[in-house]
Structures are given as structure tokens and as C-alpha cells.
Chains A and B, each alone.
Chain A
Amino acid sequence: MKMTKIYEGSHQWIMFGRDEGKPANIIDTNQYVVRTPNRCLLLDPGGAELFAPMMAAVLHHAPVDQITDLFASHQDPDVISSLGLWDQALTNAKLHAPAIWEGFLRHYSCESIEYVPISDNGGTIKLESVELQIIPAHYLHSPGNFHVYDPQAKILMTGDVGAAFEAPDAPVFVDNFAAHVEKMRHWHQRMMPSNQAKRVWIERVRNLDIDILAPQHGRMFKGDDVKRFLDWFDALQVGIAV
């Protein structure tokens, strides 16, 4: 598992991904970790297959008992099917996840972890002195979907928005936006169901000061590429399968 520190300040952001031991037939994912002095938040901690390499990677940054918070942007298996395993490994943790998916996500087993339901209009996650904003992103692509914004680090974690699929050794940041577009187009057209939801989300996100846009698959967008992505996404027709 490749680890890349993407923010270092009073707290840290670390991106985990490009797992070389991953079975070829499961989708590659990026996991993000927010680390404060005594706590640790895992954003979209990943599928059950990924649990062991992910846990091992986190142990480079925090001990098990400081993994206190998990966040699931939505209910997909590549996002959170590892829940049942985290549930047995962590003794004092919370899962922040969409309220509407509670009954569904509990199928993965969530007994020792406390399920903190996020209502449709979002909320916050407090991690010691750091306050993260939970930004609604419903229908992008899941009917109950959230992104996480860190106003201090200026990072927006966007789940499946901005996703692309590429070689296991691909760089973690977009370096040629024009070329990258082709790796994203079909995914967004096919996976994102609603032009209206997309418009509302873009409006909301344009008001945020973003240095890094961090999706769950593919590469992150930095600096001007963030605006390029929003413009490109704005102009894209989605929901093409009907």
C-alpha cells in the first residue's frame, strides 16, 4: 500500500492506495486518514479484502486504540465492506455514515462501533481541535452520499466524484488534466444519475476554498486542476444509461 502525506499542519492527511497486493478483479480504491495528536479518522476505509493491508498501513501512523473514527461517504462495498472487521478490531470507535444507510450498513456487522447517523443536510466531525465539515453530495452517485471538507487543510474528499481508473503504478496527482479527462468521462456519465444533483453540488463546492480534491479512485486534483475538474463536470451530461 502506497502512502502519501498530502497535508501537514496541526494535523495530517495521508492518502493510502495503489495497493500492489490487491486481487486484480476488485476495484482499486484510495483511503484517506486524518491524524490528530491522539486520534485518527479513516475516510472510506475500503472493502473487506483491503482490511489487512489498510490496517497495516495505518499502523505506520497510529496505534490501533487511536483509530477512533470511521467515515463512509456512502454504502458501497468498496467503501465500507470492511466494517465487520474494524468492528472486531476497534474497541472505542464511531462510524459516521449517512443516516438512510444505517439499516443497510449494519448488515456488515456494527456492534462495538457506534453508528453516528448523518442526517441529509450534513454536519461536522470533531477530531480533537480539528473540525471537519460533512458536505451533502446526494445522488453523486448514491442517494445518500456525503463528502468531507477540511477548511484548514483545504482538502475536499469527494468519494466517487472525480474517480478515474488507471494502472496500479499511476501517480497520485493529476499531471495532465486534458489527458485525464478520458479516464473519467464514462464513469461520471454512467455512475452519476442526476444533472440537477450535480449542479447543486458544484454550486455548493465552488464556495469552498479547495487546494486538493481527493476522490476515492484514481488521482487527486491539486491547485488549478480543482477548478478545471469542476468546470468539466459542470458541462458533462450524466445519467446516460436511460
Chain B
Amino acid sequence: MTNQTKSQFIAVASITSELSAVMVVAKEISLAAANAKAIAFRAGDKAKGFQPITDFINELAKETIELVTNINIYALVLYRLTVDEFQKTTAYNKFELAAKMAEGAAYAKSMQEPVDHARLSMQDCQRQFKRDVSQLLGQLEAVMHHARAARVIAANSRIEASQAGEYLQSLQAVAESVDKAAHTIHDNVQRCRIALSIYRNS
């Protein structure tokens, strides 16, 4: 296996592991939102500005979970494609070697067709992989976007929390945890994107 193939396998495998961490964090956000809703409800008028924010956080968490679920399915397709590409590349190299070794053989020329065919299907695989990576990068971008939005909301939540009197601390804690989670998601997804970006369609 060449280093290029190895790192491709690793890049694809790392998406799945980074994303499973994102999933955990997104679920945490959704929990934080439920918490915040309960607190805001108890705080009544004092947390009036906070209530729509909790709905928004919840919505954001749900969308992130959905996105990540889709990306995971995509990552599996990408993994299969990597296996496929590896097999096709191996075949192409062996066919070329066979053709070279067969030089001078009565039927050496008949190897040309399998060689050409293997080259084409290997290149097909490579193109498909690049295409799929580009699409996946787009989906990851959407998750990043959600994470950025969550951080903005967290900042707003802090402001709203400051007007919530005795509920200030608990609402601030909610804002804190949303911010932290969004940060983690951002970092993980960023790592995925860096790992994949070298395979992007140029």
C-alpha cells in the first residue's frame, strides 16, 4: 500500500471518529437547550428575551445532528470508494507489471486491453473520490456554519442572562456550555476538513 493510499484511508476513517465526537456534543447542546427552557420558564418575565433563544439553540442542535447523520452515511460511501480505488490501483499496477513481464510472449499484446480498462476504472474511481470529497467538504462547511451561529447565540444568551436576576448564574451556565460545545464542534469539523482538503477537486 502506498503512503498516499494509507493517508487516504486514515483521512476517511478520521471523519467518522471526529463526527461521532461532534454528535455527542450536539446532543449536549440539545440537552442544554432543554435545561435553559425550563429555567427560562421558571424565570418568567425576567428571562423573556431568553425563551426564543432556547428554541433557536434546540433547533440548531437538531439540525446539526441531522447533518452529521447524513455526513456519516456519506463517509461510509467514501470509505467504500477508497477500498474500491485501492483494489483498482493494485490491479492496474499488477496488470502493467504482467504486460512488462510478458514482453516477447506470443500473446503479449492481448494484455493491452485489460491494462487500458484497469487504468480507466482506476481514474474513474479517483475522479469520483474527488467529487465526493468536494461534496462532503460542502456539508462539513454547513456544520461549521451551525457552530458559528451557535457561538453568536451563546453571546446573545449571556447578555439576556445578565437581565435575569437570580437566574443569572444558571442561564449564564447554559450560555457557557453552548459556547463550549460549539467551539468543540468547530474544531473537530475543521480537523476533518483539513484532513480531506488535500483530496479536493482542484
A residues within 8 Å of B by Cβ?
A: 51-53, 55-56, 59-65, 84-85, 88-89, 109
B149 at the interface (CB under 8 A from A): no
Q: Which of B12-20, B86-94, B169-177, B179-187 contacts A (4 or more CB under 8 A)?
A: B86-94
Distance between Cα atoms of A88 and B106 in the complex (Å): 22
Distance between Cα atoms of A63 and B102 in the complex (Å): 11
Contact call A56/B105, Cβ cutoff below 8 A: yes
Contact call A88/B118, Cβ cutoff below 8 A: yes
Give the residues in chain A near B90, CB-CB below 8 Å. 85
Smallest CB separation, A45 vs chain B (Å)? 13
- Indicate whether A59 sits within 8 Å of B114 (C-beta atoms), given known contacts A52-B94, A52-B101, A85-B91: no
- Indicate whether A88 sits within 8 Å of B107 (C-beta atoms), given known contacts A55-B98, A56-B98, A64-B114: no
What are 10 residue pairs bridging A and B, where the CB atoms are less than 8 Å apart in the complex?
A: A55-B94, A56-B101, A56-B105, A59-B106, A59-B108, A59-B110, A60-B105, A61-B107, A63-B110, A88-B121
Q: A64 contacts which of B88, B97, B113, B121 (Cβ < 8 Å)?
A: B113
Smallest CB separation, A85 vs chain B (Å)? 6
Q: Quick one: closest A residue to B103, CB to CB? A: A56
Contact call B102/A55, Cβ cutoff below 8 A: yes
Given contact pairs A56-B98, A59-B107, A64-B110, a sample of 17 additional A-B residue pairs in the complex whose CB atoms are under 8 Å apart: A52-B95, A52-B98, A53-B101, A55-B95, A55-B98, A56-B99, A56-B100, A56-B102, A56-B105, A59-B108, A59-B111, A63-B109, A64-B114, A85-B91, A88-B87, A88-B118, A89-B118
Distance between Cα atoms of A55 and B93 in the complex (Å): 13
Smallest CB separation, B99 vs chain A (Å)? 8
Contact call A84/B87, Cβ cutoff below 8 A: yes
Smallest CB separation, A124 vs chain B (Å)? 27
- Indicate whether A52 sits within 8 Å of B107 (C-beta atoms), given known contacts A64-B114, A84-B87: no
Chain B residues 62 to 106 lying within 8 A of chain A, measured CB to CB, are 87-88, 90-91, 94-95, 97-102, 105-106
Smallest CB separation, A233 vs chain B (Å)? 36
Interface size for chain B: under 10, 10 to 19, 20 to 34, or 35 or more residues? 20 to 34
Smallest CB separation, A88 vs chain B (Å)? 4
Give the residues in chain A near B107, CB-CB below 8 Å. 59-64
Contact call B106/A52, Cβ cutoff below 8 A: no
Contact call B110/A51, Cβ cutoff below 8 A: no
Give the residues in chain A near B105, CB-CB below 8 Å. 56, 59-60
Contact call A52/B111, Cβ cutoff below 8 A: no
- Indicate whether A88 sits within 8 Å of B102 (C-beta atoms), given known contacts A59-B108, A62-B107: no
Contact call A55/B111, Cβ cutoff below 8 A: yes
Give the residues in chain B near A63, CB-CB below 8 Å. 107, 109-110
Distance between Cα atoms of A89 and B98 in the complex (Å): 11
Distance between Cα atoms of A85 and B106 in the complex (Å): 22
Q: Quick one: closest B residue to A84, CB to CB? A: B87
Distance between Cα atoms of A51 and B111 in the complex (Å): 13
Smallest CB separation, B95 vs chain A (Å)? 6
Distance between Cα atoms of A84 and B94 in the complex (Å): 11
Distance between Cα atoms of A186 and B97 in the complex (Å): 36
Give the residues in chain A near B108, CB-CB below 8 Å. 59
Chain B residues 36 to 85 lying within 8 A of chain A, measured CB to CB, are none
Q: A61 contacts which of B101, B106, B111 (Cβ < 8 Å)?
A: B106
Q: A59 contacts which of B87, B94, B102 (Cβ < 8 Å)?
A: B102
Distance between Cα atoms of A142 and B25 in the complex (Å): 51
- Indicate whether A88 sits within 8 Å of B91 (C-beta atoms), given known contacts A51-B98, A52-B98: yes
Interface centre among B90, B91, B100, B106 (most CB of A within 10 A): B91
- Indicate whether A88 sits within 8 Å of B111 (C-beta atoms), given known contacts A52-B101, A59-B102, A109-B87: no
Contact call A85/B94, Cβ cutoff below 8 A: yes
